[in-house]
């Protein structure tokens, strides 16, 4: 490395600062040796706190609202608001906000102070803390600047937030303030969902209703509620802030638009599950303290495959609460990273040549007794129920694969899906060898009758072994069964998980409804209920067989086979989200009233707009970096080469030196040519008024050209003197900050 990196350039100073950064000191909540159980959830106000602080009749009234969806009585709302205010003010909270999740990929909040002015009989004014039931339940933020996908005019600013009492209130605290956050839904004047939470809650209700109806038909006559559960693993990169400040691409887009992979990446396989670097561990511990105070059950932490890549995973929870918690987790990761002089990158593919980041969604179903419906049981009936629920999920994924693919589509995930690191952009299901064999045997009719003995002979009686010994992991599968849950691995690391979970819940709910109809018809002709259930299972397994695949999802052979099976192959976001325009494919959403046709199309238009804007920003940033950073660096190198060449005496050396110059000149010519071509193509694309056509042109023409320009710029990085290259390199960002 050049001696110039001793401190005379911004890049060298960034390297020196990052290399010398020590782990930050963190403070444990409560006391130095306080167990987590002592402060877990101390910044939340949920059912446990309400049971303790509310009058008994108010608490019972709240439970009725949660159980039956009835309107919360005014007196109950006032009692809750009073208790919440006293608790918050005692903790030093000065403001409250309705915390909601508009369709921006982020959360939103508007803060209001607790204080209000009260006049005395002497016309004096005094300030008091006040928080009413109406303030708790509903707010009215300006909604004009939030995405609506054409469902409302820009000048129509009315939007409403309404408290979601099923999700705990929480306090966000930093060095400057403490704010009470009230989880809410966000909707328009005519009731249209303007957020990600409202459809999720609708899907949860639909799933419970349809699943209970089905369970009663198969013999679980006391089924009252079925809940979807979720544990969302979160992958991320940590990069020293000093480097990020010198990278316009990371600042503007969250990923590197330029950068030649370093000679060492992840090929030594030495980072995955390795000893966590001290600086990263200090950050992780700080994050976990914040999450524990918010009642978020963070469970595991470890190094991921790529250098400077890590993962955090929680214990599973109710899908609505888990979705809120994952959004909060991303916010905490980013906020705490800055305290440790890091930037946390949640983009799906921040660096080429190494693994990107996903968010594995571990999804399952449980009944009101706490039994996991995807957990094989200890009796033939429990295992028959397990197989029936499994068959329903398989059919739901098979029938709605295209829509499920669309729910994980975003510009960042396009760079990750299908690479040799992540599941392909083809939805398939992995079951494991033993369960796959059972399914095949059922399809082939090896168990013609569903007597207890035949079920045991089939292997169903031994299904509990699956969760322990017989379900291998398949990292190449986008939707894999892992013992007692499905792992939706194709979800991107930056995603708001309520979106794919809404569609998955709805797909399964719709299939439960269909299965109930099938089973009712079968029960008219079958005297034995278990045989009718087995016939339905066999029918669904045959119909969904094409979506089951246990091989290497990375291989070209699988892509070819998937095409021959007729599975939807939607390689990019631009291809995938077109599915939203197909009313037949989205009918299950409208039939269940999870989303209206208008709401589905609004999400299509928002996705198109977001894609176009994201790629436009990336192209503009790439061109700016090429013109203001890469080209000047190459010009300086060519000037230095020219001076050196003039002073060379040896003809042989002159010949070799000229070859070096010619190689750089050829690269420079390619850069200039591709830059001009990209500018022309980007300008012609931006003039298109049809947003859908513009999106497709960006995906299929502009982006591929930008990749070629990047390759040329990365070639220049390998040819230009290290001291003349101003951008922090991959080796520095990924390895020099004591993170690997």
Backbone angles phi, psi at 126, to 5 degrees: -135, 150
Q: pLDDT of 501-555, one tens digit each?
A: 999 999 999 999 999 999 999 999 988 898 899 999 999 999 999 999 988 888 8
pLDDT of residue 657: 84
pLDDT for the residue 147: 58
Instruction: Write down the pLDDT at residue 124.
Output: 66
To the nearest 10 degrees (0 to 180), the angle between helices 433-443 and 529-543 is 110
Q: How far apart are CA 229 and CA 121, in angstroms?
A: 56
Q: Is 96 helix (H, G, I), strand (E, B) or coil?
A: strand
* Residue 379, CB-side half-sphere exposure with 13 Å CA sphere: 3
Q: What is the pLDDT of residue 576?
A: 95
* 659 Cβ contact list (under 8 Å, min separation 6): none
Nearest to 579 by CA among 406, 425, 408: 406
Angle between helices 498-525 and 197-217 (to 10 degrees): 20
Contact 453, 530 (CB under 8 A): no
Q: What are the residue boundaries of the structural domains of the chain, listed by start?
A: 1-25+234-257+266-357, 40-192, 196-232+358-594, 611-735
Q: Specify which residues 178 forms β-bridges with.
A: 173
The DSSP bridge partners found for residue 195 are: 102
CATH number of 611-735: 1.20.120.1560
pLDDT given at position 435: 86
pLDDT, position 140: 67
Judged on CB neighbours under 10 Å (0-12, 13-18, 19+), 391 is buried
Quickly name the fold that domain 40-192 has. Answer: Ubiquitin-like (UB roll) (3.10.20)
For residues 188 and 194, the answer to whether their CB atoms sit within 8 Å is: yes
Using DSSP bridges, classify how beta strands 479-481 and 429-430 pair: parallel, antiparallel or unpaired.
Answer: parallel
Do the domains 611-735 and 1-25+234-257+266-357 match in fold?
Answer: no
pLDDT tens column, 143-193: 555 656 555 555 455 678 888 999 999 999 988 889 999 999 988 877 888
Backbone angles phi, psi at 116, to 5 degrees: -145, 160
CA distances from 442 to 144, 465, 507, 516, 640 (A): 55, 18, 24, 20, 74
pLDDT for the residue numbered 262 = 86
The gap between the terminal CA atoms of the chain, to the nearest Å, is 19
Which residues of the chain carry a pLDDT beneath 50?
1-5, 155, 448-471
Phi then psi for residue 70, to 5 deg, are -80, 160
* Percent helix / strand / coil, the chain, rounded to 5: 50, 15, 35
Question: pTM for this structure?
Answer: 0.92
DSSP 3-state of 737: coil
Angle at 409 between CA 509 and CA 588, to 5 degrees: 25
Q: Which residue in 245, 235, 233, 232 sits closest to 343, CA to CA?
A: 245
Handedness of CA 646, 648, 650, 651 (dihedral sign): negative
Q: What is the DSSP letter of 297?
A: -
Indicate the fold that domain 1-25+234-257+266-357 takes in CATH.
Creatine Kinase; Chain A, domain 2 (3.30.590)
User: How far apart, in whole angstroms, are the C-alpha atoms of residue 345 and residue 354?
Assistant: 14
Tell me what pLDDT residue 113 has: 87
CA 167-168-174 angle, to 5 degrees, is: 125
């Amino acid at each position: 490395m050049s001696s110039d990196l001793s401190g005379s350039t911004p890049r060298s100073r960034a390297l020196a600062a990052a290399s010398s950064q020590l782990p930050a000191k963190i403070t444990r909540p409560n006391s130095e040796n306080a167990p987590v159980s002592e402060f877990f959830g101390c910044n939340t106000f949920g059912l446990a706190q309400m049971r303790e602080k509310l009058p008994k009749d108010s608490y019972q009234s709240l439970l009725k609202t949660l159980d039956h969806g009835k309107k919360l009585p005014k007196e109950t709302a006032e009692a809750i608001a009073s208790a919440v205010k006293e608790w918050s003010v005692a903790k030093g909270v000065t403001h409250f906000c309705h915390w909601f999740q508009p369709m921006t990929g982020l959360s939103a909040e508007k803060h209001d102070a607790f204080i209000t002015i009260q006049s005395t009989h002497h016309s004096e004014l005094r300030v008091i803390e006040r928080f009413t039931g109406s303030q708790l339940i509903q707010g009215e933020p300006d909604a004009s600047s939030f995405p609506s996908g054409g469902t409302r005019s820009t000048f129509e600013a009315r939007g409403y937030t309404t408290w979601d009492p099923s999700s705990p209130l929480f306090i966000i605290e930093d060095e400057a303030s403490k704010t009470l956050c009230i989880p809410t839904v966000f909707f328009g004047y005519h009731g249209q969902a303007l957020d990600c939470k409202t459809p999720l809650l609708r899907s949860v209700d639909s799933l419970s209703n349809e699943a209970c109806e089905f369970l009663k038909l198969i013999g679980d006559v006391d089924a009252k509620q079925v809940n979807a559960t979720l544990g969302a693993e979160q992958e991320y990169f940590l990069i020293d802030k000093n480097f990020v400040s010198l990278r316009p691409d990371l600042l503007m887009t969250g990923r590197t638009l330029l950068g030649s992979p370093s000679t060492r990446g992840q090929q030594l396989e030495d980072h995955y599950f390795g000893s966590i670097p001290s600086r990263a561990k200090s950050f992780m511990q700080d994050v976990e303290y914040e999450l524990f105070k918010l009642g978020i059950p963070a469970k595991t932490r470890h190094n991921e495959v790529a250098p400077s890549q890590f993962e955090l995973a929680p214990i599973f929870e109710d899908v609505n609460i888990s979705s809120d918690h994952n959004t909060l987790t991303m916010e905490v990761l980013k906020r705490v990273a800055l305290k440790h002089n890091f930037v946390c990158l949640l983009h799906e593919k921040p660096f080429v040549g190494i693994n990107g980041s996903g968010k594995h969604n571990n999804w399952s179903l449980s009944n009101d007794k706490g039994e996991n419906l995807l957990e094989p049981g200890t009796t033939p009936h429990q295992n028959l129920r397990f197989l029936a629920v499994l068959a329903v999920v398989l059919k739901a994924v098979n029938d709605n694969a295209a829509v499920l693919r669309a729910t994980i589509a975003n510009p960042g995930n396009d760079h990750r899906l299908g690479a040799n690191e992540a599941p392909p952009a083809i939805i398939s299901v992995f079951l494991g060898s033993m369960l796959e064999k059972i399914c095949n045997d059922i399809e082939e009719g090896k168990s013609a009758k569903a007597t207890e003995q035949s079920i045991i002979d089939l292997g169903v009686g031994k299904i509990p072994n699956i969760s322990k010994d017989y379900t291998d992991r398949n990292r190449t599968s986008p939707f894999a069964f892992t013992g007692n849950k499905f792992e939706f691995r194709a979800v991107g690391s930056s995603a708001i998980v309520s979106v794919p979970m809404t569609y998955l819940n709805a797909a399964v709910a719709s299939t439960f409804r269909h299965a109930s109809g099938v089973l009712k018809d079968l029960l008219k002709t079958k005297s034995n209920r278990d045989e009718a259930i087995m016939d339905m299972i066999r029918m669904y397994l045959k119909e969904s067989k094409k979506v089951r695949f246990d091989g290497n999802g990375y291989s070209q052979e699988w892509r070819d086979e998937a095409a021959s099976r007729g599975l939807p192959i939607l390689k990019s976001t631009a291809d995938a989200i077109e599915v939203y325009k197909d009313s037949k494919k989205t009918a299950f959403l409208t039939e269940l009233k999870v989303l209206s046709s208008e709401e589905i199309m609004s999400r299509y238009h928002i996705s198109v707009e977001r894609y176009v804007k994201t790629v436009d920003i990336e192209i503009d940033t790439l061109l700016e970096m090429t013109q203001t950073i890469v080209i000047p660096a190459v010009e300086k190198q060519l000037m230095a080469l020219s001076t050196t060449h003039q002073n060379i005496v040896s003809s042989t050396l002159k010949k070799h030196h000229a070859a070096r110059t010619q190689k750089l000149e050829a690269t420079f010519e390619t850069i200039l040519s591709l830059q001009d071509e990209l500018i022309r193509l980007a300008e012609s694309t931006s003039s298109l008024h049809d947003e859908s056509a513009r999106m497709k042109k960006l995906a299929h023409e502009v982006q591929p050209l930008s990749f070629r320009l990047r390759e040329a710029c990365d070639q220049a990085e390998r040819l230009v003197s290290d001291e003349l290259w101003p951008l922090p390199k991959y080796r520095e960002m990924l390895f020099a900050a004591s993170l690997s």
